[in-house]
Amino acid sequence: MIDKLALGTVQFGTVYGINNKTGQVPEKEVVGILRRAGLAGIDMLDTAQSYGESEAVLGTALQSLNSRFKIVSKFVAGHHLTPRRLFSESLIRLKSDRLYAFLYHKFSDFRDYPGWHEELLELKTGGHLEKVGFSVYYPQELQSLLDRGVKFDIVQLPYNVFDRRFEFLFPALRKHNIEVHVRSVFLQGLVFMKSSEIPAALAGIRTKIGRLHAVSKKSGVPVSALCLCFGLLNDGIDRVVIGVDGLADLENNLTGLNLRAETEKVFDELCLLREDDEDLILPSKWKK
Ligand SMILES: NC(=O)c1ccc[n+]([C@@H]2O[C@H](COP(=O)([O-])OP(=O)(O)OC[C@H]3O[C@@H](n4cnc5c(N)ncnc54)[C@H](OP(=O)(O)O)[C@@H]3O)[C@@H](O)[C@H]2O)c1
């Protein structure tokens, strides 16, 4: 199952997360986290040009480690820029000669920069990039790409016990051989919050988070393992991208990998937690 995990790295480049109490992960700890991840068999990292210092922090940290990771990064387009230039800037910051995948971070860029997609696909011919794709927030975005027959190899989308909006597209993605990476299995850390800590704007999700905690208590499976294994158990998903705030989170999540069978026993109860209100399940809509 470890081969289905990828490590998210926004937490290494900026202060991130609704439940974050410790700030940005210090560079020294980043090295420890990456070392442990590599030893455990995690072989993929997810980053982006807009995650603060994440790419540069990774570039420095990876120099001191033996592990080789496949790296996924994302770009935001801009006038006076080209995909080739953005790609080479990522490589420079990451001190690497290749990326596994390079994704549009903003779906609107695909529409607003019409020549870019062909140029991105061309980058794959140079031998320094394997896959091109999209990070999306809304099923309509992905559906429109599939409907129009746009060529791409990989998509990253939000998925968790609450947010299952994209599930209906998984069979089509499999049919087209498009790799599916999911993020947000812990909803930025919201799933761990006590009812009293959840902001008033998200009061609508309190009952379901309470029910998730009750399933955890009854089954003896930690919330982290339930949420992680819920993604891992889905055959439509190739990679689950998890974010960690420190080594302790990573260790807990590695332990949680072993609780798939226990999670499977309460799978039907977890399925009942589905929530379609985007104001509650989309972090970009949460009132800051
Ligand atoms: N549009 C995009 O492309 C996009 C957007 C967002 C994120 N991402 C990627 O996805 C990665 C993950 O971000 P996400 O938003 O999906 O976060 P997530 O994985 O849903 O949640 C990560 C947070 O959960 C908490 N956590 C993780 N394991 C835990 C454990 N065992 N026990 C307790 N708390 C634990 C930590 O925060 P606390 O300890 O502070 O609670 C951690 O920062 C990012 O690093 C980034 O690479 C991509």
Tell the residue nearest (CA) to atom 40 of ligand 1. Answer: 20
Could you give the angle at the alpha carbon of 61 between the alpha carbons of 155 and 248, nearest 5°?
Answer: 75
What is the CATH number for 57?
3.20.20.100
CA distance linking residue 197 with residue 10, whole number of Å? 23
pLDDT band at 288 (very low <50, low <70, confident <90, very high): low
pLDDT value of position 109: 97
Q: What's the pTM?
A: 0.96
- Domain span at residue 47? 2-285
Tell the residue nearest (CA) to atom 16 of ligand 1. Answer: 184
Residues 6+ away with beta carbon under 8 Å from 236: 167, 170, 171, 173, 174, 180
- Ligand 1: which of 44, 49, 183, 259 to mutate, judged by most atoms within 8 Å of the beta carbon? 183
Number of structural domains in the chain: 1
pLDDT digits (tens, 9 = 90+) for 73-82: 999 999 999 9
- Which ligand 1 atom sits nearest the alpha carbon of residue 283? 15
Q: Which residues line ligand 1 (CB under 6 A)?
A: 8-11, 17, 19-20, 46, 74, 105, 135, 156, 183-189, 192, 224, 241-245, 249, 252-253
Is the predicted pLDDT of residue 18 greater than 90, yes or no? no
pLDDT value of position 16: 85
Is the predicted pLDDT of residue 145 greater than 60, yes or no? yes
For residue 64, count CB atoms less than 10 angstroms from its CB and return exposed for 0-12, middle for 13-18, buried for 19 or more. exposed
Strands 129-135, 99-104: pairing is parallel
Centre of ligand 1 to C-alpha 241, Å, is 8
Mean pLDDT of 234-256: 97
Give percent of the chain above pLDDT 70.
100
Centre of ligand 1 to C-alpha 286, Å, is 15
